[in-house]
Amino acid sequence: MSDDILRATPESESELAFEGALRPQSLDEFVGQQKVRRQLQLLLEAATLQNRAPDHILLAGPPGLGKTTLAMIVAHEGQRPLRMTSGPAIQHAGDLAAVLSSLVPGEVLFIDEIHRMARSAEEMLYLAMEDYRVDIMVGKGAGATSIPLELAPFTLVGATTRSGLLPNPLRDRFGFTAHLEFYEPAELHLVLERAAVLIRLDIDTDALREISGRSRGTPRIANRLLRRVRDFALVHGGRADTTAVRAALDLYDVDEQGLDRLDRAVLQAIVERFDGGPVGLSTLAVSVGEEAETIEAVVEPFLVRTGLIARTPRGRVATAEAWRHLGRQPRSAPADDL
C-alpha cells in the first residue's frame, strides 16, 4: 500500500501505538506552533493561579498536526484527569449526558472530531459548557419534564478537522480556538530529531533534512517516513544517511517534494494529456483511473497548497512549477497567469 504512506490520517493500529510513544507530554516538548503554544500556556497558567478549570478549548486543523497531542498536554500540564471520546461515539444526547455526569471536578473532556456529534447532543453541550449544567428529560409526551443536573466544573477540549462544519453557537462557546498550521521543514526537522532519539535511531542531520522536506508539513507523516528509513537501514545494515533516505523513500514512491505516485499521475495528466489544463475534475479523475472525490479530497489540497496546481472556474491548471517538477519547460504562456 505504498500509496498510503503520505496520507495524513493514521494508517494502522501499530502506527497509533508508535505515535503514542512519540507524543510530547508537555508544551515545552511540543515542537512549532509557537503562537498556539504561548496562547495555551497563558490560558493554563491563569486557570491554575485562579484555581479553576481552564476555559474550553477548540483545536482546529488538518489531520496529523498535533490536536490529540495538545489535548493530552492540556490535561497533563495541569495534572488533571482526562476523558477521551469522539463525535461519532455520541449518537444521542443520552450518550453525552452519561459522560458529562460522570466527570470529576477539573477533568478535561476531549471530544475528537466534535463536528460529527449528534445535533441533540450539541444542544445539551451548550448549556453544559456555559453553566456546568444539563437538563435531563424524564418521561415522554405531555407528561415529560426536565430535571436540571449540576455538573462538576470541567474543561472541554474539542478537536476538528472541519471547523467550518461546527455550528456557530458551539464555536462561540469555546474560550479559545487554536488553528494549527502546517509545519515548516525546520520544525519538522526538530520533530524528527526528537523522534530519532526516542526510537534510538542514529541518523545524520542531512538525512533528517531530506525526510523533513518530503513530509508535507505534517509531523505524523514525518514520523512515518522516519520509521521506513529505520527499517531500510536495519535491513540493509547501513547507516541512516541521505543515501538510505533516498533509497527508502524512492522505494515507497515519495519524491523530493513529498509527492506520491497518484499526485504525480495527476500532475502528469494535466501537463501531458491536457497541455497544462484547464481540465475538469471528472475528466481528470477518469484519466488517472481514480474517483473524483479522491482527487478532490486527497490529492488536490496538497498540490494546491504547494502551488503545483491551481483551481480556476474553468478547471484545474498546472503551474509553471508543476512543469518544472516534471522536468519540463513550462509552456510559453505559463498557467500561473490564468
Ligand X SMILES: Nc1ncnc2c1ncn2[C@@H]1O[C@H](COP(=O)(O)OP(=O)(O)OP(=O)(O)O)[C@@H](O)[C@H]1O
> Which residues belong to the active site?
67-68, 112, 161, 220
Among 5, 6, 7, 30, binds ligand X (CB under 6 A): 30
- Which residues are registered as beta bridge partners of 83? 109
| CB closer to ligand X, 20 vs 105 | 20
215 binds Mg ion (CB under 5 A): no
Q: By the 8 A CB rule, do 91 and 71 touch? A: no
Question: Residue 204, by phi and psi: left (phi above 0), alpha (psi -120 to 50) or beta?
Answer: beta
DSSP for residue 146: E
Helix (H, G, I), strand (E, B) or coil at 52: coil
Alpha carbons 134 and 282: distance in angstroms, whole number: 48
Query: Restricting to residues 164-193, which ones interact with ligand X according to CB under 6 A?
Result: 191
67 binds ligand X (CB under 6 A): yes
83 known member of a binding site:
no
223 binds Mg ion (CB under 5 A): no
Q: By the 8 A CB rule, do 190 and 226 touch? A: no
| CB closer to ligand X, 187 vs 300 | 187
68 binds Mg ion (CB under 5 A): yes
Q: By the 8 A CB rule, do 97 and 136 touch? A: yes
107 binds ligand X (CB under 6 A): no
Query: C-beta of 211: minimal distance to ligand X in Å?
Result: 14
- Which residues are registered as beta bridge partners of 145? 138
Pull the grid cell for residue 50: 485562579
260 binds ligand X (CB under 6 A): no
212 binds ligand X (CB under 6 A): no
Helix (H) or strand (E) holding 122: helix 119-131
Q: By the 8 A CB rule, do 273 and 313 touch? A: no
311 known member of a binding site:
yes
Binding-site partner at residue 105 among Mg ion, ligand X, none, CB < 5 to 8 Å by type: none
24 binds ligand X (CB under 6 A): yes
Among 157, 104, 161, which Cα is nearest to 129's? 157
Query: C-beta of 160: minimal distance to ligand X in Å?
Result: 8
For ligand X, how many residues bind (rule: CB under 6 A)? Answer: 21
Site for Mg ion, rule CB under 5 A: 67-68
Residues that bind ligand X (CB under 6 A): 9, 19, 22-24, 30-33, 63-69, 161, 191, 219-220, 223
Residues of the binding site for DNA: 311, 316
